Amino acid sequence: MIAVALPSTSVWYWYFGRATGLVSLVLLTGLLVLGMLGPLSVSSDQWPRFAIRTVHRDVSLVALLVIAIHAVVMVLDGYVYIPISAVVLPFGSAYRPFWTALGAVAFDLMIALVVTSLLRQRLGYRTWRSIHWLSYACWPIAVAHGLGGGHDSGSAWALGLTIVCIVIVASVTGMRIRFGSAARTLEA
């Protein structure tokens, strides 16, 4: 009979928490990119504009789920004590308080974005859009949380992934600024 030594439960929480954090980074990056491409009317016969909006909505819900799982797993991990309140209340944790607080702020902003998007018809377009501008704050706060609070952030592969996400967002932001202002000039 062969005995297999399994790592302790805490190790599994630790790895799963790190993995969901990195997956969240990729999902939030994709979400921001889709949101910035939508107003540029980036579409084709094979990829109509409504498909971009639908994928954007679906990715936002998946991102919120993965981020919630990340937060719960980090709270359940016995390696360090992070109270459940620290998930939504900044500075509610003694563990890396600043970086954990940034994660709570990013999560709170994400919840506000999702809730107001679900209530978009009732809020009206102007109110919804003004609140939706918070997405431009949510993403860099979440990236900073990962860079400062993540244990993998110093490793070459995690840092590389973060840099790739930053370059993608910067490139699409440049496109949005360039083509967005050109479209407004043509409309005037």
DSSP 58-86: HHHHHHHHHHHHHHHHHHH-SSS---GGG
Within a domain: 52 = yes
Q: Residue 186 above 50 pLDDT?
A: no
* Percentage of the chain lying above the pLDDT 70 cut: 84
Within a domain: 4 = no
Of residues 40 and 25, more confidence is placed in 25
Q: Residue 188 above 60 pLDDT?
A: no
Q: Which domain holds residue 111?
A: 9-187
What the block records as the tokens of 123 is 């809020």
* Percentage of the chain lying above the pLDDT 90 cut: 40
Mean pLDDT of the 9-24 span = 86
Res 151: pLDDT: 75
Per the structure, how many domains does the chain have?
A: 1
| Cα dist from 12 to 8, 19, 34, 78, 154, whole Å | 7, 10, 32, 11, 20
Of residues 48 and 126, more confidence is placed in 126
For the chain, what's the residue count? 188
Q: Are 66 and 17 in contact (CB under 8 A)?
A: no
Within a domain: 130 = yes
Sequence-distant (6+) residues with CB within 8 A of 176 are 36, 37, 39, 40
What is the C-alpha separation between 67 and 105, in angstroms, rounded?
12
What is the C-alpha separation between 147 and 84, in angstroms, rounded?
22
Mean pLDDT rounded to a whole number for the chain? 84
Mean pLDDT of the 129-149 span = 91
* pTM for the full predicted model: 0.83
What is the C-alpha separation between 27 and 187, in angstroms, rounded?
33
Mean pLDDT of the 41-60 span = 75
Q: How confident is the model at residue 21 (pLDDT cuts 50, 70, 90)?
A: very high
Q: Residue 56 above 90 pLDDT?
A: no
Within a domain: 22 = yes
- Which of 134, 105, 114, 30 is closest to 65 using CA atoms? 114
Within a domain: 117 = yes
Within a domain: 1 = no
Res 152: pLDDT: 76
